[in-house]
Structure 1
């Protein structure tokens, strides 16, 4: 009794420790066994799926996504004994039976199936004798791997089909290429494309591939000025038929007006990287080694870039990367385009300073405007609107700002022209000036408002942009209603300046009164857009 009493508590104290260690050991052993079963099952699943795809003859080297999709099918059918033995196993056996043939001759086709029906026993033996033994081993391995996978999942208690996280993951994986994830997929791809392009621009020096250029005898002007507009859609200009008179200079000056230029894209970067380089017309990608500035410099002409667009500094945009090729560059904004609302009129003193520089050689000057960039009302802090907002319906508020910003650009162009005339009179330097816009805009119309913004894919007129040329010797006004492709723009600017280079298309010309013979699919791309017409909105007469 004493021994029992004395020993009892100790025994009672030791018993839980021993049982706890035993339970812990059993749990550890169970966990290790489950891990081993899981790894073996995974290897078998991978081997069976890969061999099945290879044996089908369609996939000599199966992609990882195809292997995963087939593996998921096997996993789901493994959730039920009946599904496994009555559906999955016969399905896999069909693959296995064809595997020796598929590994040797490829995927089943009409010829193979027809030959089966036309083959006798002797011919069958000859056919089967052509198949390597290793192909038969692959077929057997498919069945064995599948059965071993089944055993491992059952003995190891691996039932992934009951795991909600696993089911959610495979749902995302299977549906990712489909509509529910299109937004995520397209956003990622667009972001990746921008990232790669910016890295390429900032991490390497892009050498010019133009080589040496020469000037033709018809390069008769001393100063060439290229004015790049922003977001100015052609049909909102009175010079192109808009009802409100918002282009007094463009409508009356002795310009050659082109009605038919299609921009390269529907935003500044997408359009100008094609228009200011000689692009790859197969991939529709800009070629920065064949950019406009390097072309002009290759002909011995000094280049200037004066911009009211943003300059990112450490991280160039494709446009600022081209601008940086210029001999002299002036950016009114040190950051992005939203870094300060600076009027385009602020470019005029900088332009005048460039004109005042004492030079004897030819010059090529780019003026990059902020124009009618959305929100266009912000462009009018120093400029009056055409209509009083209180005298028109409030739904036309944005339209009033937009057409007024175009009028401001028209006045800007007139002032540039007047500075060039003044410089010609003072220094006897002839000149030629071209204006075009990088892209247009599209509408979003509701019952209460009309928004005009950069909504890609919403309007065919998004690509329609103004273009005109005026020179120191211009005497009459001309209007050319001919199609011109933005993908030929750099070639055509080379023609305008009078540059001769083997890489230039000598047929490209913006002002030859003839449509472009080849637009590399631009017009077809625009015509295939499945969108309703999106004409310019005219503001009714004021109250």
Structure 2
């Protein structure tokens, strides 16, 4: 009985700590949050006395655990986080899930613990006591909703309270969009900037997930932009995107945002400005036409004279290439002689990046994810070149910018709102009359792109600043610390982690392969798990990616030695050296403190000829004496 009680209280404490960690309390820790930990603990102590309250705890807290991956990375639920989860387009949801797949293990571990607690306590028959029931109800409500008396609160950041409040804000925003998106009455056109401007066609290309530092026209050492390298135009080196994902960025780029009021004027937007100025407007998109994240841009497109979405529904309704927008563009250009503004919304470099390459063949062989990302930039360059060929013979202006960047690693490309390069994006302008390439190195906020757009379409208005002009870019005030939006408006300087671009994109990342003789053994000193054995890159079927994790069996710590993959094939064993990766989900699985190392992950890139099946694939290490240790499998993880 004593052992049982000790085990139960241990599980109560572990569960309470995991709840604090998983629901985001530790991300922005306040000392008073320790009270929340005791509230969770109290829920377990009182709630497991009776079977029906145990079931309530099991169901409720297990459901809460689905938020853990987000809470670990971003913190307690806020409007911005919920918008990113439910209002971003579905492609970004997939990218997000790819980035958090290892944090999901904490949710799995937590649910297992909840079932264990329930199994231990369900057979107990405690005498019914009103005090116990009332104590549980009180603590349960406070744990989820918090409590406030005379402006003094306990657990003010309770999960459901924050979620409900944030949801109300989102719903209000959606209603404001619906009511105000088509109301352009606040816009007054004050005339033209240049009365001699006789441009026929103006094209605005909205890029997707492109980092400026991967474009050779901005200095990247690999030739990813052969056309743009010599294109005549104005290139701004310093645009800082308004947000780290499509929804947060473009709602503050294509619409008028007022940071001081935390407000977006939906009726003041790029399409309405062009309409008011008398242009025919067109919207061509290779992104989804419906869904929470897509609908605001779809509704914006309906303000245009014509709109065309390659995908009839959401992104699942087709796997279209950006180049499929080009025949539509050509048809619009040749439809009549009226002055036009044409918006083109690309799928661009959106993750999974290797899937964005399609039939395009880059000028280098793909051996890693960073190479795939660079290939999408080269594909973008060709896309823009083809547009200029379509526009040849016309008086045109072309403006390109990207909504945000991505975190780019050799083995993974994903969203990471905490790196500087996620926000550093390209902005450039091509003109049929420009005779040279001009580079302007100035920081400009994405919040000012609406101003730049108004100058691009040659108008002055009461809602934009005509000083933001490509042709006067050298006179634009250098914004040393632009404002960005992530959970709130904040200075860009609050993002400090940097990630230099990967330059050796052509390097072969296949690990050294060693044919073993008698210098190996199956070891019980370490445990491992192989997650997957798959083709690494769509355009290079000769390279396979083997992924998993390994840990020392005794203390459950990551391996310190040279790690890698063992493949058994044709009665022979091969060792392919690999690289370590963070796997904090594995660390949490073993109940190791969050402050400890989490580099359990092992990834090896293998020549196809060595690949057999996952059942003949193992993980392990080579020790300092050149002895190879094949770790036993952990099939329960």
TM-score by length of 1: 0.62
Aligned ranges for residues 8-23 of structure 1 at < 5 Å?
A: none
Deviations 1:56-79, CA, capped at 9 Å, x for gaps: xxxxxxxxxxxxx9xx9xxxxxxx
Q: In structure 2, what is the Cα distance between the partners aligned to 1:279 and 1:330?
A: 26
Q: In structure 1, what is the Cα distance between the partners aligned to 2:291 and 2:506?
A: 46
Does 2:402 match 1:437?
yes
Does 2:323 match 1:345?
yes
Indicate the SS of the match to 2:261: coil
Q: In structure 2, what is the Cα distance between the partners aligned to 1:309 and 1:403?
A: 21
Q: 2:369 aligns with which of 398, 419, 430?
A: 398
Distance verdict in 2 for CA 1:383–1:541, change over 3 Å:
closer
Q: How far 1:506 sits from its partner (Å)?
A: 2.6
Match of 1:292 in 2: 270
Q: How far 1:375 sits from its partner (Å)?
A: 1.0
Match of 2:483 in 1: 522
TM-score by length of 2: 0.53
Match of 1:367 in 2: 344
Indicate the SS of the match to 2:175: helix
Match of 1:280 in 2: 258
Match of 2:237 in 1: 259
Q: 2:202 aligns with which of 224, 233, 257?
A: 224
Match of 2:334 in 1: 356
Match of 2:175 in 1: 199
Larger fraction in strand = 2
Match of 1:451 in 2: 412
Q: In structure 2, what is the Cα distance between the partners aligned to 1:376 and 1:166?
A: 49
Match of 2:507 in 1: 542
C-alpha contact 1:385 1:400 (8 A) present in aligned 2: no
Which has the larger Rg? 1
Q: In structure 1, what is the Cα distance between the partners aligned to 2:158 and 2:130?
A: 33
Match of 2:383 in 1: 412
Q: In structure 2, what is the Cα distance between the partners aligned to 1:385 and 1:235?
A: 18
Aligned ranges for residues 161-200 of structure 1 at < 5 Å?
A: 163-174=135-146, 190-200=166-176
Q: How far 1:468 sits from its partner (Å)?
A: 1.1
Number of equivalent positions: 371
Distance verdict in 2 for CA 1:490–1:178, change over 3 Å:
farther
Indicate the SS of the match to 2:256: coil
Match of 1:82 in 2: none
Higher RCO (CA-CA < 8 Å; seq separation 6+): 1
Distance verdict in 2 for CA 1:526–1:463, change over 3 Å:
farther
Distance verdict in 2 for CA 1:316–1:258, change over 3 Å:
closer
Match of 1:306 in 2: 284
Match of 2:528 in 1: none
Match of 2:361 in 1: 384
Q: What is the aligned-residue RMSD (CA, Å)?
A: 3.1
Q: In structure 1, what is the Cα distance between the partners aligned to 2:315 and 2:351?
A: 11
Distance verdict in 2 for CA 1:161–1:500, change over 3 Å:
same
Q: How far 1:511 sits from its partner (Å)?
A: 4.2
Match of 1:124 in 2: none
Match of 1:504 in 2: 464
Q: In structure 2, what is the Cα distance between the partners aligned to 1:328 and 1:180?
A: 48
Does 2:221 match 1:243?
yes
Deviations 1:483-537, CA, capped at 9 Å, x for gaps: 1111111112111221122232232224421343668951793543254212212
Indicate the SS of the match to 1:260: strand
Q: How far 1:440 sits from its partner (Å)?
A: 0.9
Deviations 1:25-54, CA, capped at 9 Å, x for gaps: xxxxxxxxxxxxxxxxxxxxxxxxxxxxxx
Q: In structure 1, what is the Cα distance between the partners aligned to 2:372 and 2:159?
A: 32
Indicate the SS of the match to 1:366: strand
Indicate the SS of the match to 2:263: coil
C-alpha contact 2:202 2:396 (8 A) present in aligned 1: yes
Distance verdict in 2 for CA 1:432–1:265, change over 3 Å:
same
Distance verdict in 2 for CA 1:338–1:484, change over 3 Å:
farther
Does 2:249 match 1:271?
yes
Q: How far 1:324 sits from its partner (Å)?
A: 1.4
The gaps in structure 1 that reach 5 residues or longer are 1-68, 73-156
Q: How far 1:192 sits from its partner (Å)?
A: 4.2
C-alpha contact 1:230 1:373 (8 A) present in aligned 2: yes
Q: In structure 2, what is the Cα distance between the partners aligned to 1:182 and 1:346?
A: 47
Indicate the SS of the match to 1:242: coil
C-alpha contact 1:227 1:433 (8 A) present in aligned 2: yes
The gaps in structure 2 that reach 5 residues or longer are 1-35, 40-128, 509-637
Q: In structure 1, what is the Cα distance between the partners aligned to 2:147 and 2:220?
A: 48
